[in-house]
Copies of this chain bind each other. A is one copy, B any other.
Amino acid sequence: MPTMTFAQALNDAHKLEMLRDPNIYVAGEDVGIYGGIFGVTGGLLDQFGPKRVRDTPITESAIVGTAVGAASCGLRPVVELMFVDFIGVALDQLFNQAAKMKYMFGGKAKIPMVLRATCGAGIGAAAQHSQCLEAWFMHVPGLKVVMPSTPADAKGLLISAIRDDNPVVFLEHKMLYALEGEVPAGDYTVPLGKADIKREGKDVTVIATAQAVHTALSAAEKLSADGISVEVLDPRTLNPLDEEAILESVRKTHRLVIIHEAVKFAGAGAEIAAMVAEKAFDRLDAPILRVAAPFVPVPFSPPLEKEYIPSEEKLIRAVKTVMES
């Protein structure tokens, strides 16, 4: 299997799908001549030309809105929002139009589109370029929400997202772009709605998303030295959420810790914890803990940003806490 970065895997997915389906177009700010601020769409303009790879003005409502309109008329747009933090100027077209059209029209519409965006802290990009907002998208019936953690998942999930006939929000953590890993060549999909056990364990389930998956894997390695066997489960898609896989793991370990980078309050972890507290309450031997960002905007200064991002140490402490109770 070839080795490539997360960004290259996403690039590969774009190219393969665009070759397969002429109805796919890519649009967004700086996706063409620049190749994407993080390089994800590099080379697409040369390969597919300006009809299919469209640099846009700074106009997110129109980027997303034209995608919705075009999708309802037969195209399959893959549009980039650059930073997910910019969703505030384009959200209506996503949640009131793309997500609801099919339902409002009694089934008479189909909106096959992907909205890609980068998320997450770690490079000092501060409060308006570092957020994790997946919980918002999860709360919208009609959307799907994808958040990969490895190059292979990124490629397989993006291809699935592009082939899906529903609007999909595809969130790429910016600290992952340079991550290398083996990625199956050619046509290869990871189904939406299927979690992945990134490490098997029997004492405690740690559910982690995106960049936090790697924090969890590293914590699990250290905890194994203390004799604690951690199962790391990566939902990969937050909607559909693979509840069965989560419940199965918790029924085995009887303990659950959730880690994600978004602020804890009303974050994705709340839904997962609540779901387990409803459906596997009797199998739990300890409180469900969430390790997540504190309730503050993302700070700029490196020591503050470092403290903001949920750390391995905090996760280890949480795991030990649930092991002790």
Q: List A residues at the B interface (Cβ < 8 Å).
A: 61, 85-96, 99-100, 103-104, 126-128, 133, 135-136, 138-139, 141-142, 239, 241, 262-263, 265-271, 273-279, 281-282, 284, 286-290, 295-297, 299, 325
Other A-B contacts than A266-B266, A273-B274, 9 sampled, CB-CB below 8 A, are: A88-B90, A88-B95, A100-B297, A135-B135, A135-B266, A139-B263, A239-B265, A266-B268, A270-B270
Inter-subunit contact A286/B281 (CB<8 Å): yes
Inter-subunit contact A96/B88 (CB<8 Å): yes
Inter-subunit contact B270/A290 (CB<8 Å): no
How many angstroms from the CA of A126 to the CA of B141 in the assembled complex? 14
How far apart are A279's CB and chain B's nearest CB, in angstroms?
Answer: 7
Which chain B residues lie closer than 8 Å to A239 at the CB level?
265
Which of B138, B273, B276 interacts with A265 by CB under 8 Å? B138
Which chain B residues lie closer than 8 Å to A61 at the CB level?
89
Q: Given A88-B96, A296-B103, A277–B266 Cβ distance below 8 Å?
A: no
How many angstroms from the CA of A137 to the CA of B288 in the assembled complex? 24
Which of B88, B142, B290, B299 interacts with A278 by CB under 8 Å? B290
Which chain B residues lie closer than 8 Å to A295 at the CB level?
141
Q: Given A96-B85, A104-B297, A279–B274 Cβ distance below 8 Å?
A: no
19 CB contacts below 8 A, A to B, read A61-B89, A88-B94, A104-B127, A135-B266, A138-B266, A139-B263, A139-B266, A141-B295, A266-B268, A269-B274, A270-B271, A274-B274, A274-B277, A278-B287, A278-B290, A279-B287, A281-B286, A282-B287, A282-B325
Q: Residue on B with the closest CB to A293?
A: B141
Q: Which of A85, A91, A269, A289 has the most CB of B within 10 A?
A: A91
Inter-subunit contact A139/B128 (CB<8 Å): no
Which chain B residues lie closer than 8 Å to A91 at the CB level?
87-89, 91
How far apart are A239's CB and chain B's nearest CB, in angstroms?
Answer: 7
Which chain B residues lie closer than 8 Å to A135 at the CB level?
135, 139, 266
How far apart are A100's CB and chain B's nearest CB, in angstroms?
Answer: 4
How far apart are A144's CB and chain B's nearest CB, in angstroms?
Answer: 12
How far apart are A190's CB and chain B's nearest CB, in angstroms?
Answer: 22
Which of B265, B269, B270, B297 interacts with A103 by CB under 8 Å? B297
How many angstroms from the CA of A90 to the CA of B295 in the assembled complex? 22
Which chain B residues lie closer than 8 Å to A265 at the CB level?
138-139, 141, 239, 241, 271
Which chain B residues lie closer than 8 Å to A278 at the CB level?
273, 287-290
Which chain B residues lie closer than 8 Å to A296 at the CB level?
103, 141
How many angstroms from the CA of A108 to the CA of B222 in the assembled complex? 42
Which chain B residues lie closer than 8 Å to A287 at the CB level?
277-279, 281-282
Inter-subunit contact B104/A126 (CB<8 Å): yes
Q: Residue on B with the closest CB to A132?
A: B139
Inter-subunit contact B268/A277 (CB<8 Å): no
Inter-subunit contact B263/A270 (CB<8 Å): no
Which chain B residues lie closer than 8 Å to A290 at the CB level?
274, 278
